């Protein structure tokens, strides 16, 4: 809520594959570097949770249900995080884990969850 350098906090930093979802509230500031910002109420998610890394909302980008997370990288360990809320000040993590190269993991996604995946994607 302040543009003062000493009071700034990094909402969600780092280089990510695909997209990253966040909720901005009135009065907050955001700085984008090497990124574009889209209103997801007006635009479709450009990524596909069954083909690429990224962040997706259950109920909008995919249906609730049981899925397999598959690592598609030969070089990197995949990682997924499931959030029940993505409030930019304190996102609530429900579950997360690593998926070794060539390995899979079973997960359950509920309506309203968000899933973020790096070097992995979903299988129905």
| 85-123 pLDDT, tens digit each | 887 667 788 999 999 988 899 999 999 999 999 999 999
Alpha helices in 27-79 (DSSP H): none
Residue with the bigger pLDDT between 34 and 69: it is: 69
> Among 8-12, 19-23, 62-66, where is mean pLDDT lowest?
8-12
- pLDDT of res. 27: 79
Q: Using the Cα atoms of residue 46, residue 74, residue 82 and residue 106 in order, give the sign of their dihedral.
A: positive
Measuring CA to CA, which residue among 124, 117, 120 is closest to residue 21? 117
Q: Taking 90 as the threshold, does the pLDDT of residue 9 lie above it? A: no
CA distance 61 to 25: 22
Q: What is the mean pLDDT of residues 34-38?
A: 76
Whether 124 and 50 have beta carbons less than 8 Å apart is answered as yes
Percentage of the chain beyond pLDDT 90 is 40
CA distance 90 to 99: 25
Q: What's the token pair of residue 39?
A: 């209103």
- pLDDT of res. 10: 46
Give the global pTM. Answer: 0.77
CA distance 55 to 61: 9
Q: What is the mean pLDDT of residues 3-14?
A: 46
DSSP code, position 42: T
- pLDDT of res. 57: 92
- pLDDT of res. 5: 43
Length of the chain equals 124
């Amino acid at each position: 809520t302040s543009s003062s350098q000493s009071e700034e906090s990094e909402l969600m930093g780092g280089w990510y594959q695909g997209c990253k979802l966040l909720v901005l509230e009135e009065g907050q500031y955001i700085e984008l570097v090497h990124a574009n910002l889209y209103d997801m109420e007006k635009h479709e998610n450009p990524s596909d949770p069954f083909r690429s890394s990224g962040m997706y909302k259950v109920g909008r980008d995919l249906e609730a249900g049981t899925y397999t997370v598959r690592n598609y990288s030969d070089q990197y360990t995949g990682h997924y995080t499931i959030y029940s809320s993505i409030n930019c000040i304190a996102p609530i993590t429900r579950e997360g884990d690593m998926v070794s190269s060539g390995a899979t993991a079973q997960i359950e996604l509920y309506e309203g969850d968000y899933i973020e995946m790096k070097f992995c994607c979903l299988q129905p």
